[in-house]
Amino acid sequence: MKRYLTVILFAVSILIIYIGAKLQIYWSGILAWGLALVCLIFAVHYSKYIPNEKASKKKKKEI
């Protein structure tokens, strides 16, 4: 599940920016970009859980 969080958080950040751009409320743009930045930071953090196919193939060959 953790490897899917990168894609989910990336999509959430796009959605936040889109909604923040459509709202014409004072400070909504700054808030939207701030929340999107936080989501992207978490997406980068969870991208380390994406499996490396080359490494997993080497481990299978060794066993």
Q: Which of 18, 7, 2, 9 is nearest to 42 (CA)?
A: 9
d(Cα 39, Cα 56) in Å, to the nearest integer? 28
pLDDT at 39: 92
d(Cα 9, Cα 34) in Å, to the nearest integer? 14
pLDDT at 49: 65
Query: For the segment 6-37, what is each residue's pLDDT rounded down to a tens digit?
Result: 889 999 999 999 998 888 888 888 899 999 99
pLDDT at 50: 65
Two tokens, residue 8: 């989910």
- Helices then strands, each counted (H, E), the chain: 3, 0
**Residue spans per domain, the chain:** 2-62
Query: For the segment 31-59, what is each residue's pLDDT rounded down to a tens digit?
Result: 999 999 999 998 888 887 666 666 656 66
Question: In this predicted model, which residue has the larger pLDDT, 55 or 3?
Answer: 3
Burial (0-12, 13-18, 19+ Cβ within 10 Å), 47: middle
